[in-house]
Every structure is written in structure tokens, then in C-alpha cells.
Amino acid sequence: MKSKFSKALVAGLCICVTMGLASCGQSAKTEKKYEKIVATSVATTEILDKLEVDNVVGIPESKIYKISDRYKNAKKIGKPMSPDVEVISSLKPDLVLGPKSLEASLKEKYDSAGLKSEFLDLSSVEGLYDSVTKVGKLLGKEKQAEKLVKEYKDKIAKINERAKGKKKPRVLLLMGVPGSYLAATESSYVGNLVKLAGGENVYGDGNGTDFLKANTEDMLQKKPDVILRASHGLPKQVMEMFKKEFATNDIWKHFDAVKNGRVYDLNNDEFGMSASFKYEDALKTLEKFLFPK
């Protein structure tokens, strides 16, 4: 009787162990839930590329910025500002990644389509690396993320060391669109770059507002040492607009920055609207403008 009981107990334990192992296998399989990923902006594809993530099935269309060849076989899902939700759904992704700046306009659409989405803060270089850490944890790429964050901290430390003891130049940052322009604050991405490079934005952080509509008389009163001109789309057209504006509007000749030849145009490749890994090149460019030798 005891022998039969022992055999039954052993058999029962074997079944439990077998079921447990099967359950573990299912658990492991469940944890690997992001097998098909869609990136809706160039910056999010850059993060995934840096983290060595291969399973990206959808990427945005981009005529200005080049997307890594790692994703050459991924399907185009529309423009970053207006991705095609129907096309995204057809790819049956486990995760859709996009910039937080578009969360308000896109999250409800994704939810309605049954798509899981995560939005990344790409409004600053700091936000970019917070996003690297976030995505690293989501996709099991913690080691790659930690390496990238360490490299970033080392780079910023070197920039701070070079700017140490130098007087911060006052900077007027203009963001142009065809036919108009605004003053960009420290809350914008390009403004964040200026701050990291050692400049002082004449409009500060704008109380959290990225761009302000300010008249030229007010700009003159701010007494900027440097004027930087950037563009939001159609860079050639915008820079031509700036040249015409500065040549025909008499008030600009009263700015010290204009008198001293310290008006600089920022190229659209390094100075986009959201944070990217080209920030290092952008900071080197800004250092030359802000602290000329």
C-alpha cells in the first residue's frame, strides 16, 4: 500500500513538474511580447537602431532624414505627423512607438484600432536618453541602453567643462516656417541644445511654451549677443525668407548681433524639431557660434 502511494506521489510530482516546465515555457514566450514593432517617427527608428532592435515592421516616410538600412524591408506607414492607422493595423504590430508630442492626437486612434502604443519624450536631449532607458527596459535591451546613457553623460560633462568660466552669450533663437517665424524658448528642442551648449535664451523657458509670438521691438529690447535662425520644414524656402526679412526690415540693423556679424543659420539636418542622436554634431556647431575662437 505504501509502495503504491509512493508511486502515485512520484507520478503526481512528475506531472506537476512537467506542467510547471510547460507553464514556464509559456511564461517565457508571453514575456517576449514585442515581436513586431512599428516606429512612427525618424527619431524612434534611431532609438531602436541604436538599441540593435531588428524586429521593426513599420517605419515613417521621410524625404529629409535617412532611416537606417537595418529597416530597409519595413513597410512605410505614412508621414510622422499623420501615420496611416489602417496600414499600421494591417502589420499586426505588438507595439507602436511614437513621439509624446503627438500622443494627444494619435493615442485615441490607436486605442480604437486595438493597437498598443507607447509615446516617448523627444523634446530634449535628456528626454531622448530617458526614452532610450524606457525602450531598453521594454524590449530587453538594458545593456545597450546603459552603454548609450553613459556615453551621453560623458559627452555632456566634456561640454560643461569647456564652457566652464565663460560668460553665457544671450541668444535669440528664431524658428521659421514659410512666411513667418517665432521665437523659440529653452522648452523647444533647439532651445534645449542652445542651453546645453552654454547659451542663455533671451526668452528663457517661455513658462513651458516651446515657441512665442514676439514682435521685433521686444526682441531688440532683449539685447541678444547672438541670433540663430532655424527652420521647421522647407529649409531652403525659410532661409530665403530670413535673408529677405533681415535685408528689408530696417529694425534688424539696430541689433548688436547683426552689427557684430553674429547671425547664424542652423541646418535642418542637425537641428530638427525633436531630439535625435545628431545632437552631438549640433552641439559642436553651436559651440563654434556661441564661443568663437
What residue ranges do the domains of the chain occupy? 37-155, 166-290
Residue 200's DSSP bridge partners are 170
- Is domain 37-155 in CATH 3.40.50.1980, yes or no? yes
- Taking all residues of the chain, what is their mean pLDDT, rounded to a whole number? 90
Residue 140 confidence (pLDDT): 96
**Where are the strands (E) in the chain, listed by range?**
37-39, 56-59, 75-76, 78-79, 82-83, 95-99, 117-120, 170-177, 180-184, 200-201, 211-212, 226-231, 263-265
Quick check: do 37-155 and 166-290 share a fold? Answer: yes
Residue 84 confidence (pLDDT): 97
* More confident call, 167 vs 10: 167
In this predicted model, what pLDDT tens digit does every residue of 220-274 receive, in sequence order? 999 999 999 999 878 999 999 999 999 999 999 999 999 999 999 999 889 998 9
Q: 3-state class of 37 per DSSP?
A: strand
Question: Read out DSSP for 182-236?
Answer: EEE-TTSHHHHHHHHHT-EETTTTGGG-SEE---HHHHHHT--SEEEEEESS-HH
Residue with cell 493595423: 89
In this predicted model, what pLDDT tens digit does every residue of 174-228 receive, in sequence order? 999 999 999 999 999 999 999 999 999 999 999 999 999 999 999 999 999 999 9
Q: 3-state class of 51 per DSSP?
A: coil
Residue 26 confidence (pLDDT): 37
Q: Looking at the whole model, is its pTM more than 0.85?
A: no
Residue 240 confidence (pLDDT): 97
- Is domain 166-290 in CATH 3.10.350.10, yes or no? no
Residue 18 confidence (pLDDT): 45
